[in-house]
Structure 1
Amino acid sequence: MLLLEDDPILGETLHEMLGEAGYGVEWVRDGQEACELTWQKSYDLYIFDINVPHMSGFDLLEALRNADDTTPALFISAMGDIGAITKGFRVGADDYIKKPFYPEELLLKIEARFLKKGSLITCGKISYNPQNGDVKKEDKVLSLGDVQIALLRLFITNIGRTLSKEVLFDAMEHPSESALRFAINKLKATTDWDIINIRSIGYRIEKC
């Protein structure tokens, strides 16, 4: 995928996170460089910031669509007004995420809507297939509810990262502190994972 983001901190964070999740990512910081790369090679997904040097994300995507490039595209931008969002979709975006956002939100959108990796992701005795959503424990398919599946996906794609309670709440239908603790304990019992509580912040798996 091609990531266009001129903020060095956010760009590095997203580049590292997507790479660890198994995606091949090229990261550039200006629109002209991104434009040149799109003519040199094909990508599975574009992730474009809008206010970037030399050529805006809007102009870049519009030019690509005019050239019959149908690659799925997602905007990430601090421009959150309805006018900007409308323009984003008008020039050909498939989705739009307003900054600030949790990096994990982007990963979930990619997995759910855009790219489906064929390889299994494993952690301990658990394997997860992003292509069909199957979860197995020692080759036995597990039947999990929507919340457990969403939490499992978050943890198994973010090994070694602390997931904030806010991000985890987004995976729940009726989020609360007590409901989250119950859901985490249930997931621990199902997976045998060592999910650590980082007090007042969130949860993490140090390693599989």
Structure 2
Amino acid sequence: MSYRVLILEDNTLLLQTLEDFLLEHAFICTLVKSGKEALEACYQNSFDLYLVDVKVPDINGFEVLNALRHSGDRTPAIFITSLNDQESLTKGFLLGGDDYIKKPFDLQELLLRMKAILTRTKGFVDDWLIIDDEYKLNLARKRLFKGNVELDLNLKDFELLYLLVKERGHVITKEMIHNHLWNSCEEINEGSVRVYINNLKKIFGKETIVNIRSIGYRFEK
């Protein structure tokens, strides 16, 4: 599954930067620029996490989260703000904020904070490998998704696809495939590899997985 994030931020450039970055990590983002828009979005939709700027039009971020908490909404929230005084920091936590990151901030640090909160509240965070605009691999659950739709793929298919995507553009030898798909206690079945390759070609197209004669395969998507 992908996690749904509401981002309240009135700086257009930062808002777009956050969306682009989080989309790369398979988050589904809803963008709002005012406190009023944020409340309307939260009352109409369900989110897994809020990213809340404090200094925004109409209703500030502190008041937004306060209203949500009073309505019974316990969705975790991270304040993103230029405020750096102890009083503001304390106020944010007392209103029900789960974390607080000061501008300017590193995007990777923000991602780590988000994952830490989601791990605590959801039990685990899915780890994704993006293939292209349509397809992505959920590494935690070993699943292939087209958009938000899970595709039917057996475990060996998945493991082979993961190997091909991870090394895309490079030739994956038959020996590499054997070592990745079978442990030392299992019997290697060369015929099965051809079946797995054909299964993947049905999804991604014959031209995507190139057969390097007598050597192996190359993923070119």
Query: Equivalent residue for 2:106?
Result: 102
SS of the residue 2:100 aligns to:
strand
Instruction: Measure, in 2, the Cα distance between the counterparts of 1:100 and 1:60.
Output: 22
Q: 1:83 aligns with which of 83, 87, 98?
A: 87
Residue 21 of structure 2 is aligned to residue 17 of structure 1? yes
Instruction: Give the AA of the match of 2:16.
Output: E
Larger Rg: 2
* 1:14-163 superposed matches below 5 A: 14-114=18-118, 116-118=124-126, 120-121=128-129, 129=139, 138=163, 139=180
Cα distance per residue 1:146-170 (max 9 Å; x no partner): xxxxxxxxxxxxxxxxxxxxxxxxx
Instruction: Measure, in 1, the Cα distance between the counterparts of 2:115 and 2:66.
Output: 25
Cα distance per residue 1:51-101 (max 9 Å; x no partner): 000000000000100111000111000001110000000100000001111
Instruction: Give the AA of the match of 2:129.
Output: I
Tell me if the contact between 2:19 and 2:29 (Cα under 8 Å) persists in the aligned partners. yes
Instruction: Measure, in 2, the Cα distance between the counterparts of 1:118 and 1:82.
Output: 34
Instruction: Measure, in 2, the Cα distance between the counterparts of 1:104 and 1:82.
Output: 24
SS of the residue 1:17 aligns to:
helix
Instruction: Measure, in 2, the Cα distance between the counterparts of 1:53 and 1:122.
Output: 35
Instruction: Give the AA of the match of 1:118.
Output: D
- Structure 1: 5+ residue stretches without partners: 141-207
Q: Alpha-carbon deviation of 1:119?
A: 5.5
How many percent identity over aligned positions? 40
Query: Equivalent residue for 2:155?
Result: none
Q: Alpha-carbon deviation of 1:129?
A: 3.7
- Structure 2: 5+ residue stretches without partners: 132-136, 142-158, 164-179, 182-220
User: Runs (4+) of structure 1 moved beyond 3 Å?
Assistant: 115-120, 127-131, 136-140
Instruction: Give the AA of the match of 1:78.
Output: S
Instruction: Give the AA of the match of 1:108.
Output: L
1:13 to 1:120, Cα distance in 2 relative to 1, 3 A:
closer
Instruction: Measure, in 1, the Cα distance between the counterparts of 2:130 and 2:16.
Output: 25
Aligned length: 135
1:122 to 1:8, Cα distance in 2 relative to 1, 3 A:
closer
SS of the residue 2:28 aligns to:
coil
Give me the TM-score of the superposition, normalised by structure 1. 0.58
